[in-house]
Structure formats: structure tokens, C-alpha cells
Amino acid sequence: MQRILTATLVLSLGVSQAQKVDSIVIGVAVAQTSNTALLGQEQVIGAKFAEKYLNARGGINGTPFKLVFQDTGGDEAGAINAFQNLITKDRVLGIVGPTLSQQAFASDPIADRARVPVLGPSNTAKNIPQIGDFIARVSAPVAVVAPNAVKQALKLDPKIKNVAVLYAQNDAFSTSETGTFQETAKAQGLNVATVQKFQTTDTDFTTQVTAVLNSNVQLVIISGLAADGGNLVKQLRQLGYKGLIIGGNGLNTSNMFPVCQQLCDGVIIAQAYSPAQASAANQVFVKDYTAQYKKAPPQFAAQAYAGVQVMVEALRVIDRKKKLNTWELPALRVELNRQILAGKYNTPLGPISFDKEGEVNQAEFYVAQIKMKDAKTGSFVYLK
């Protein structure tokens, strides 16, 4: 009996695996709902731009590809569910996602075990590529990006001596980024006068702001996400903090403007993307994006674009050697992962490639400062 069962199982697995790839589908798993959608919305836009642009230029050597979106929401369970749907129901070749590192640590191991390549579009915490062989990212790590903001703050105000550091302790990215910020501050000779913790779900920051005001600092550095981070900025200003503020990557969106409004003004944020990046790929992206949205593209849109572009260009290379519709899905996923890591890509982020663990190699980073025109409208001004 046992033997018969085993034989049946092997046979049915064999049949489903032998099915050829009949459509070219790439999964996008980002936050379309919850507070995390303040960040994820820009990723949806960036990915759709890539789909439209790259399909208009031939798709995969003449065959269009399709993006399938699964909403991750803002938590781990949502990311796991989205990944499972993409892998088994939508039968995607690879996944661009999820939005948060906190989610990636939960969902990426599922894709890794299923041997489905993942490109993190905005997963910047330490140890993301190390989750597994099938996990890479186009989003440069906080360790590389965040120090630029501290150096820029010191350029703007060389008299800074004392720093307050605040971070969301329930978020993997925020705890990783604050580590980098604290190390950088010390390496720059600054005194970390107070370290304050909060939760990404917090809305009242009176305790933390009081501690900041009592510690006589000239710089505040925040690692959190957009809603909590925006409220924290707002309450710091309302309660009388006058010095410079650095926001981390979780505050890196104009979707924070409705939260802190005019009080967002002056926040300094390091960038892994600049609309001024000179590559042809970027200039086309900037032109199309600006025509549609009347503003320059933000980093999260550019990174999601790059994630889709990398998958597409890797698929083009594979297809030239052996047509995609002659592959079986499991083998094509493995080959796609290999090709992603082998290639070089001219993206809106500039030229990128990957090291053997899946960490992105990227050369150029920037710092921007929020400039509010009024309570509703503002922009990211890139600093020299």
C-alpha cells in the first residue's frame, strides 16, 4: 500500500512539473493596503512603468510579459500569503518584493525553499541576501546608504555635537538602520546623548520627544516607517525642537507629507536613487514619470522599476539560448536565478550587478532634503 501511494505521488508530481511555461509572468508582492502602502504605492507605480516600457520595447524578445500583483499588506502574514499565491497559484517565474525587511525575513524563506528567485525592491536591513541562494536585492543596504545623511547634516551644521537617536523596535529594517546611524554618529565624533524606542503602530510620541528636548541635542535621527516617522517629526516640531532632523529610508516618501505637513520641512534623507542620474534608462523613466505625475520619480518607484527590469533582461538572455516556452517551470526558475546574478544592468539606479550572495553592487548614492511649499505640497531637493 505504502509503495503504491508513493508511486502515485511521484507520478502526479512528474506530470505537473513537466508542464511547459506557457506565459511569462513575474510576481510583484508589495504593500497595497495598510500604513505600509504609503511606501508600497510608489512601488506599484514603478513596477507598472517597467511593464509598460519594457513591453513596448519588445518584452521578452517579441513576447510580452505580464506582472501579477499580490497585496502583502503591512505584516509578515500578508507577505507570506502573497508569496504563496504567486508561487503556487500564479506560477510566477520570479518575485519582486516584499516592501519591508520585516516581511522579507518571513516570506523570503518560502520562496527560497520553493526555488523561486526573489529581488527585494526595498529590503535594506542587514542579512537580507543571506536568507538564501534565491534571494537578492536591488535595494542597497542601510550600512551603505544611511551614513551619507549624517555626513550631509554635519556639512549643513558643523557645530553639531549631541545627537538623539530614535527607532521603531518592532521593525527589522529600523533596528538595522539605527545600528548604522549610531555607529556613524560615533565615528564622526558625535555624542549619542539619548536613544529612544517606539513602535511603528505608535501615534503619541510625547515621552520620546520630552527625552529629546531634555538632552540638548542639535541633531535627531529617526529610523521608523512613514506614518509613525511623520508623526514623530510633527510632534518634535510642535513641542519645540529646532535642530536638524535626519529621517531614515522609511520616511523616504512624499506620502509622508499629509502626516507632518509643513513640519516635514527640512528633514534630511539619504537616497539610493536620483532623478539626475545620467543613464539613458533613467532619463527616459524620469521623462515618462514626470509627464504622468507632474513630479520626479521617488526612490521606491525607481527601485521597483529596476527589480522588474533585472528579471526581464535576465529572461531575455535565457530566451535567446532556449525559448522560454520550451522550459519546465522549476528549471526555468533556477536558471532565472542564476542569470540574474550573472548579469549587468543599466537601470534608473545607474549600472548595477550582484555579488555571489545576491547583494547589489551600486556606485552612486545621494542625500535629499524635504522642502515644503505649503501644508500639502513639497519636494525632495537633492543636496550637493
Site residues, ligand 1QQ (CB under 6 A):
39, 99-101, 122-125, 173, 249-250
35 vs 122, which CB is nearer to ligand 1QQ?
122
The CB-of-127 to ligand 1QQ minimum distance in angstroms stands at: 11
Nearer to ligand 1QQ, 124 or 235 (CB): 124
Least separation in angstroms between residue 128's CB and ligand 1QQ is 7
130 CA to centre of own chain:
16
Contact 224, 235 (CB under 8 A): no
Residue number, 108 or 335, with CB nearest to ligand 1QQ: 108
**Closest approach of Cβ 240 to ligand 1QQ, in Å?**
28
Of the pair 16, 199, the CB lying nearest ligand 1QQ is at 199
Query: What SS3 state is found at 330?
Result: helix
CB of 217 to ligand 1QQ, least distance (A): 23
**In the beta sheet, which residues pair with residue 93?**
none
Q: Whose Cβ is closer to ligand 1QQ: residue 123's or residue 152's?
A: 123
Closer CB to ligand 1QQ, 250 or 307, in the complex: 250
Count CB atoms within 10 A of the CB of residue 211: 16
How many whole angstroms separate alpha carbon 145 and alpha carbon 365?
A: 7
CB of 272 to ligand 1QQ, least distance (A): 9
Asked whether the beta carbons of 271 and 382 are under 8 A apart, the reply is yes
Residue nearest to ligand 1QQ (CB): 173
* Shortest spacing between CB 18 and ligand 1QQ, in angstroms: 38
Q: Within a 10 A sphere around the Cβ of 284, how many other Cβ atoms?
A: 14
Contacts of 230 (CB under 8 A, 6+ apart): 251, 256, 258, 259, 260, 264
**In this complex, which beta carbon is closest to ligand 1QQ, that of residue 125 or of residue 190?**
125
Residue 44 or 60 having the CB closest to ligand 1QQ:
44
* Grid coordinates belonging to 153: 547634516
For residue 150, give the H/E element and its range: helix 147-156
Contacts of 278 (CB under 8 A, 6+ apart): none
Q: Cβ 139 to ligand 1QQ, closest distance in Å?
A: 6
CB burial of 8-41 (b: ≥16 within 10 Å; e: otherwise) equals eeeeeeeeeeeeebeebbbbbbbbbebbbbbbbb
Least separation in angstroms between residue 227's CB and ligand 1QQ is 12
Q: Which residues pair with residue 66 across a beta bridge?
A: 25
Q: What is the pairing mode between strands 350-354 and 345-347?
A: antiparallel
